Structure 1
Amino acid sequence: MEQRISFVTLAVADLAASTRFYAGGLGWRPELEVPGEVVMFAAGERLVLSLWDRAAFEAETGGPTTRGPGLVPVVLSHNVETPALVDAVLRLAADAGAQVGGARDREWGGYSGYFADPDGLRWEVAWNPGPIGLRVVPGTDTTPRA
């Protein structure tokens, strides 16, 4: 098996609200929409973010979803080229209705902050000046390929 992820699939409580947040608020363009079921966005060269209506997700995967108190133990990250862009993306998310935690300098040498989408799923917006951080930002990859 190749070492890569092709889709990130999120089961959402209100597909229309999540679509408005990602498409209308954050400005992402849907690649595929099946009303009431799923919306898919190209999230990278070979990566798709898939938002599934929770009931359709459960039918597709064959099992119920569970939610309890606290945070979902998953964070999606969006790395950018500069600390100023971290602040700009967090403002965009706030304008789209996200709950936003302020950005700050991190002990690992970067700068990041978090926002939550309509289902409370957390996104980190980060500037990471190290090699692995640069590898995921278009146009800054300095990692030699084998």
Structure 2
Amino acid sequence: MEQRVSFITLAVSDLARTRAFYVDGLGWEPMFSGDDVLMLPIGERLMLSLWSIEGFTAEIGEAPASGVAPITLAHNLATPAEVDAVLAEVALLGVPVSAGRDREWGGYSGYFSDPDGFRWEVAVNPGETGDFVLPPR
């Protein structure tokens, strides 16, 4: 099996609210939007697939676990100022945001939660992973 990920799929409690957050709030462009799913291209050959809980359950055969998901998604940037600007923009959407700060591992990051509580890290990473920043569309 090739070492790569093609889709990140998350189950969401209210797809309309999720669509409003990602498309209207963050300004992301969907590739597909249906009654049960919203698909957002987030990188070269990488899709964020947001399913209604009902659609997710029908697709995989069982309901998702409840509670805080033990996962974070990351959005890397080049400078701490860019991190702070994105966190300030997201804070205007009324979701929980933690301010950017220097981290003991040498980077700078802060977090926000989408409407379903999925945590996004907005970060500057040092070293090899710091070069992993997607070009603007």
Partners of 2:95 and 2:115 within 8 A in 1: yes
Number of residue pairs aligned between Structure 1 and Structure 2: 135
Q: Does 1:56 align with 2:55?
A: yes
Letter in 2 for 1:133: G
Q: Identity, % of aligned pairs?
A: 56
Deviations 1:86-110 (A, max 9, x none): 0111112111222101110001111
TM-score scaled by structure 2? Answer: 0.94
1:125 corresponds to: 122
SS at match of 1:30: coil
| Contact 1:25/1:92 (8 A) holds in 2 | no
Matched with 1:46 is: 45
Q: CA deviation at 1:128?
A: 0.8
Q: Structure 1: 5+ residue runs without aligned partners? A: 140-146
Query: How far apart are the structure 2 equivalents of 1:28 and 1:91?
Result: 17
Give the corresponding residue for 1:20: 20
AA aligned to 1:132 is: T
TM-score if structure 1 supplies the norm length?
Answer: 0.89
Q: 4+ residue runs of structure 1 moved beyond 4 angstroms?
A: none
Pairwise CA RMSD = 1.0
Specify every segment of 5 or more residues in structure 2 that has no aligned partner in the other structure, as ranges.
none
